[in-house]
Amino acid sequence: MSAQAQVNRVPDNFQTSEFNWEHGMVDKIVPRSEMRQTLVTILSHVTKKGGIDLGAVMA
């Protein structure tokens, strides 16, 4: 075993949404108020039918 552990300092913004977006780990950052509609839009692009019943999602 090593007698000494190596300590690395991480950036102040490490593990923030912005840091992850800048480094390609996140595709988009949206405000919480827009999150549901954004998910509906994204999911409508990847479903076979191409649409999601927004009424069911908003319930």
pLDDT at 30: 94
Predicted confidence (pLDDT) per residue in 1-58, tens digit: 566 778 889 889 888 989 999 999 988 999 999 999 999 888 888 876 656 666 666 6
Domain housing 50: 30-59
* Inter-residue contact 41 to 29 (CB < 8 Å): no
Number of domains in the chain: 1
pLDDT at 6: 84
Structural domain includes residue 1: no
pTM for the full predicted model: 0.52
Residues 36, 12: Cα–Cα separation, whole Å: 29
pLDDT at 7: 87
Structural domain includes residue 23: no
